[in-house]
Structure 1
Amino acid sequence: MAASPLRLAVVVKGYPRLSETFVAQELLALQERGVDLSIWSLRHPTDTRRHALHDRIAAPVHYLPEYLRQEPLRVLRALFRLPPAKLWAAARLWWRDLRRDPTANRGRRFGQALVLAAELPADAPFLYVHFLHTPASVARYAAAIRGIGWGFSAHAKDIWTTPDWETREKLAEARFGVTCTATGAAHLRALAADPQRIELVYHGLDLGRFPDPPDRRDGPGGLRDGSAPDRTVEILSVGRLVEKKGYDRLLDALAALPAGLHWRLVHIGGGPLGSALRAQAERLGLADRIDWRGAQDQATVIEALRRADLFTLTSVIAGDGDRDGLPNVLMEAASQKLAILSTAVAAIPEFIADGEHGVLTAPEAAAIAAGLDRLLTDPPLRLRLGEAAYERLRAEFGMTPGIDRLLRRLADTVPA
């Protein structure tokens, strides 16, 4: 008799999301390995587009009440369906958290957990959650109510902005945790009573979703050096317009480039700082050299990667401690042999060695400007770095090894 498939309820903050292709890539890979998935999302989608790989994910999607006031009867029904003994045990856990974090968000997490615990199938064996902050709180409370285990995948903001007391308690209760950078893994292991529960699992990239790279010696990016208008270098950046992406510093760096250097910036991505950054570009006299394209699906991103001459992502550590992990978009750029300029921040150096696979600078405008000047005017250097990043991606950052490790963790943990 064939073994029953691994069954998994996956809790996410929002689904689908254009900015979280790594989540969709993982879900699709698990589906293709025979895992029986259901998706439980804390938020409804806000993007007007979706990636093609979302359409390939067959798992049913359940949306929890995004705000409890919107579905009060659903929350009350859940409350009355749950076993009182376990409900009170979970409520005591939540109350202890609420006293240390007396916020409306903490109350909303418990209400969502009530609905999740009540509406999960009776035989649901395990909760697997993406992100260690809000989604993991909901999964933790729901798992306590249902008396089942849970595990997590941690990424970036959730690692660095969750209070240490909360992280320690979640690490003590989770059956396992994976995270996508060595820097993140080291931080979590330092807070864990059992560091062996934390495993480094790079997302990697499913190269099967990407076309073969263009021949940049003859096509886009091969020879343009910014020396004349017909040799204008196209710079591409893909990322949310939030503080940790450092776009204010990129704009300052572009303004510091030599006046006679011809370049054009294409930006893809949405975010709350859009208006402020456009205003900054106007003040710096850059507005007519920047194409703000907003959020786009992955097919459009790939087309832009193939056409550009240089990719840049100038990540910084935000004022609240938030920072990138290892942005998947850097690997996507490498898949098209596109030369990369980024900053030596967070886990970016885990993929790019400065001068070998790209150019890494300090996260200050002057350093970024110097790196840009160097790459914009040196097409052979761009070709060499793009080739090297592509080879590193193929050799060490494919998706399959990470999915293998994740499946082993799940198989060892999730009840049959």
Structure 2
Amino acid sequence: MDACGTHGATGRAPRHPSGPGHTDEADACGYRGTQCGRRWVAKGLQSGSGRNVTRREQPVRAIGRQRSHLRDLDDIAEAPAVATPSMASGATIGFLVKIYPKISETFILGELLGLERNGVRPHIFSMRQPTDAVCHDANRAVRAPVTYLPPTGVSSAMQGVRAHVALIVKRPRRYLQALVFVLRREEGGRARAFFQAGYLAHRLSKAGIRHLHAHFASEPAGVAELVSKLAGISYSISAHAKDIYLSSPASLRRKMSGASFTVTCTEYNRKHLAGIATPDAMVLRMYHGIDLDRFKRGHAAARAAGAPLLLSVGRLREKKGFATLIEACRLLRDAGKVVRCKIVGYGEEHDRLVGLIRLHGLNDAVQLTGKMTQDELIDL
């Protein structure tokens, strides 16, 4: 069992015996604890509450103020805070991601912890099994249960098939409308998206969860859009980077139009999305926060006597600019400066960056560390 509580190098959560209603469920790091079987009671958002929740009454504030506990960062939530009434404490929302946990998506981890700290009860739905062999220690603090959506393979298809049959029987007209909608979409992966959306719609309906928040405006938002059509629930979107700029404007406009709200992490992104969206779509900026209490000044002071450390963290992709950083280190070295640089991350550019470091004779100055947890990173 690895650091995430998973078995083997693939990082997969433990399997459980198949049977009626069987799903791949685990807690944040692959452990099955008491939290996984707990049913949270949502106030005002569960079916049978006697209240019809309209699209614009959905819970923006709870997500917008998720990081307000961070010291000196209360202002990051100013835009979402005025949008709608807050979600009631103890409410349950669906939280859809592509892969959970993922070591590079610390912003999602921080959001989950912030939601729980503010009394919201997310139920995580992951479209794929995790692949990282390690996860952050903070993942163990997430109380939310995790459900892995069934893939489209024959061996696990029956879970999804049963869910689709149940939807057809319960809401045949709505199901047919959703099917026609997805067939008219000119996007890849439609079959997988519809298959997983049917399973998720059935699970959310059974649990009485009436709102689904999707991270990334690409696949997850597309599945959330279909879930909304199949189950009649609301959804919202967090948009980030390539999911914005590699998606067609028409696809983004359609998803944002159907969403209760869309949040993104920079003002540039917000303006870009607002320029694409229909007039009635709500597009908000919400910066990613950092818990400053985790960074102690004493560590930096103890190392102040040595050469300063240039630290950069990210996936090793061309767009991140690590080649430019290595070139800057060469210029500093050639100017007679003592250079200490560590690049933390993993990705397709690894071998090319190693070659650049060797080419410039920077082996003693620039180090590629590979993957690190947040705790390991802070210790640097």
TM norm. shorter chain > 0.5: yes
Q: Does 1:276 align with 2:276?
A: no
Number of the residue aligned with 1:139: 224
Contact in 2 for aligned 1:68/1:111 (Cα 8 Å): no
The DSSP-based 3-state class of the residue aligned with 2:332 is: coil
The 1-side partners of 2:271 and 2:155 are apart by 40
Number of the residue aligned with 1:396: none
The 1-side partners of 2:152 and 2:360 are apart by 41
Within the candidate set 151, 174, 196, 1:112 is matched to 196
The 1-side partners of 2:280 and 2:350 are apart by 40
Number of the residue aligned with 1:39: 124
Q: Does 1:159 align with 2:244?
A: yes
Equivalent residues in 2 for 1:246-325, closer than 5 Å: 246-259=321-334, 260-304=336-380
The DSSP-based 3-state class of the residue aligned with 2:237 is: strand
The 2-side partners of 1:213 and 1:190 are apart by 42
Contact in 1 for aligned 2:234/2:260 (Cα 8 Å): yes
Decide whether aligned partners of structure 1 residues 111 and 276 sit closer, same or farther in structure 2, where only a CA change above 3 A counts: farther
The DSSP-based 3-state class of the residue aligned with 1:165 is: helix
Q: Does 1:219 align with 2:323?
A: no
Quick one: which amino acid aligns to residue 141 of structure 2? R
Number of the residue aligned with 2:320: 245
Number of the residue aligned with 1:235: 310
The 1-side partners of 2:326 and 2:195 are apart by 43
The 2-side partners of 1:86 and 1:128 are apart by 21
Give, in angstroms, the shift of residue 78 of structure 1: 2.3
The 2-side partners of 1:134 and 1:297 are apart by 26
How many residues are treated as equivalent by the alignment?
Answer: 289
Q: Deviations over 1:138-170 (max 9, x none)?
A: 111111101111111112222222110100101
Equivalent residues in 2 for 1:57-206, closer than 5 Å: 57-69=142-154, 71-83=156-168, 84-97=172-185, 100-101=186-187, 103=188, 105-122=189-206, 123-194=208-279, 197-206=282-291
Structure 1: runs of 5 or more not aligned: 225-231, 305-416
Contact in 2 for aligned 1:128/1:151 (Cα 8 Å): yes
The 2-side partners of 1:165 and 1:290 are apart by 43
Contact in 2 for aligned 1:241/1:272 (Cα 8 Å): yes
Contact in 1 for aligned 2:109/2:139 (Cα 8 Å): yes
Decide whether aligned partners of structure 1 residues 194 and 15 sit closer, same or farther in structure 2, where only a CA change above 3 A counts: same
The 1-side partners of 2:311 and 2:358 are apart by 19
Structure 2: runs of 5 or more not aligned: 1-42, 44-87
The 2-side partners of 1:156 and 1:87 are apart by 32
The DSSP-based 3-state class of the residue aligned with 2:302 is: coil
Decide whether aligned partners of structure 1 residues 126 and 267 sit closer, same or farther in structure 2, where only a CA change above 3 A counts: same
Quick one: which amino acid aligns to residue 88 of structure 1? L
Equivalent residues in 2 for 1:288-367, closer than 5 Å: 288-304=364-380
The 2-side partners of 1:177 and 1:29 are apart by 18
The 1-side partners of 2:280 and 2:298 are apart by 43
